[in-house]
Structure 1
Amino acid sequence: MDKNNVRLLAVNVLARVGGRGGYSNLTVDSTIRQAHLSARDAALLTNIVYGVIQHQLTLDYYLAPFVGRRELEPWVRQLLRTAIYQMHYLDKIPERAIFFDSTEIAKQKGHAGLAKFVTAILRNVQRKGLRDVSAIQDPVKRLSIATSVPEWIVNKLFDQWGELEATALLNSINSAPRASARVNRTMIQRDDLVFRLQDEFPEVRNSVLATSGVVAPGGHLAGTPEFADGLLTMQDESSQLVAPSLDIQPGDQVLDACAAPGGKTTHIAEWLDPQAGGHVTALDLHAHKVNLIQQNADRMHLADRVTAQTLDARKAVETFGEQKFDKVLVDAPCSGLGLMRRKPEIKYDKTADDVANLTRVQSEILDAVAPTVKVGGRLTYSTCTITHEENQDVVAAFLQRHPDFRQVTVPTLAPVTHNHAAPALQILPHDYGSDGFFIASLERVQ
Structure 2
Amino acid sequence: MSQPQSNARALAVSILEQLELRGGYSNLALDAALAKAHLDPRDAGLVTTIVYGVLQHQLTLDYDLAPFIKDRKLDLWVRILLRTAIFQLVYLDKIPARAIFYESTEIAKTRGHVGLAKFVTGVLRAFQRDGAPSLDAIEDDHERLSIATSTPLWLVDRLIAQQGLAKATSILSDIDRPSAAALRVNTTRTTREALQQALALEFKLTPSVVSPVGLTSEGGHLVQTYAFSAGDYTMQDESSQLVAPSLAIAPDNLVLDACAAPGGKTTHIAEYLDSDQGGRVIALDLHPHKVRLIDQNARRLGLQKRIDSRVMDARQAGDEFAEETFDRILVDAPCSGLGLMRRKPEIRYAKQPSDLEALPAIQLAILKSVAPLLKRGGRLTYSTCTIVNEENQDVVAAFLAASPDFEQVAVPGAEALTHAHGAPALQLFPDDYGTDGFFIASFVRK
**TM-score, normalised to structure 1's length?**
0.94
Deviates more, 1:212-221 or 1:421-430: 212-221
Deviations 1:161-220 (A, max 9, x none): 111111111111121222222222222322333334444433x31211111212122343
Measure, in 1, the Cα distance between the counterparts of 2:97 and 2:271: 50
Structure 2 equivalent of residue 46 of structure 1: 48
Change in 2 beyond 3 A, CA 1:271/1:37: farther
Supply the RMSD in Å over aligned alpha carbons. Answer: 2.1
Answer whether contact 2:409 2:442 (CA < 8 A) is retained. yes
Q: Which residue of 1 aligns with 2:411?
A: 410
1:8 shift after superposition = 2.8
3-state SS of 2:183 partner = strand
- Cα distance in 1 for partners of 2:268, 2:36 equals 29
Contact 1:179 1:220 in 2 (8 A): no
Distance 1:208 1:46, change over 3 A: farther
Q: Aligned letter for 1:161? A: Q
Aligned-pair CA distance for 1:148 = 0.6
Deviations 1:303-357 (A, max 9, x none): 2222221111011111111111111110111121111111111111112221011
CA distance in 1, matches of 2:112, 2:322: 60
TM-score, scaled relative to structure 2: 0.94
2:386 counterpart of 1:385:
yes
Give CA-to-partner distance per residue, 1:372-415, whole Å, 9 cap, x none: 11111111000111111211121112111111111111001871
Mark the CA change 1:105 to 1:429 in structure 2 (over 3 Å): closer, same or farther. Answer: same
- Give the corresponding residue for 1:435: 436
The CA distance in 2 between the partners of 1:17 and 1:268, in whole Å, is 35
Alpha-carbon distance, 1:58 to partner: 0.3
Q: Deviations over 1:54-78 (max 9, x none)?
A: 1110011111122222333323222
Kindly provide the CA deviation profile for residues 73-102 of structure 1, in whole angstroms up to 9, marking residues without a partner as x.
323222221111111011122222222222
**Secondary structure in 2 matching 1:188:** coil
SS of structure 1 residue aligned to 2:354: helix
Alpha-carbon distance in 2 for matches of 1:214, 1:44? 28
Cα 1:419–1:229 change in 2 (3 A) is same
Select between 62-71 and 385-394 the one with higher mean Cα deviation.
62-71
Correspondence for 2:212: 211
For the structure 1 residues 110 and 292, does the alpha-carbon distance in structure 2 shift closer, same or farther, using more than 3 Å as the test? farther
Could you say which residue in structure 2 is the equivalent of 1:370?
Answer: 371
Q: Report the CA distance shift for 1:183/1:19 in structure 2 as closer, same or farther (over 3 A).
A: farther
CA distances 1:255-277 after superposition (whole Å, capped 9, x unpaired): 11111111111111122222222
Aligned partners of 1:304, 1:3: CA distance in 2, in Å?
Answer: 48
Residue in 1 that maps onto 2:116: 114
Q: Give 1:306-385 correspondences, 5 Å limit.
A: 306-385=307-386
For 2:88, the aligned partner's letter is Q
SS in structure 1 at match of 2:243: helix
Which residue does 2:129 correspond to in 1?
Answer: 127
Is the 1:43–1:219 Cα contact (8 Å) retained in structure 2?
A: no
Letter in 1 for 2:135: V
Cα offsets for 1:132-161 (capped at 9, x unmatched):
112211111000000011111111111111
Separation of aligned partners in 1, 2:342 and 2:168: 14
Note closer, same or farther for the CA distance 1:207–1:414 as it changes in structure 2 (3 Å cut). Answer: farther
Show structure 1 runs of 5+ residues with no match: none
Counterpart residue number, 1:160: 162
Distance 1:315 1:42, change over 3 A: same
Single out whichever of 311-320 and 289-298 deviates more from structure 2.
289-298
CA distance in 2 between counterparts of 1:106 and 1:299 reads 47
Q: 1-side partners of 2:238 and 2:394: how far apart?
A: 24
Counterpart residue type for residue 75 of structure 1: W
Kept after mapping to 1: 8 A contact 2:414/2:420: no
Give distance in 2, aligned partners of 1:29 and 1:223.
15
Runs of at least 5 residues in structure 2 that lack an aligned partner in the other structure: none
Q: Which residue of 2 aligns with 1:27?
A: 29
Match of 1:276 in 2: 277
Q: Could you tell me whether the CA contact under 8 Å between 2:414 and 2:426 is conserved in 1?
A: no
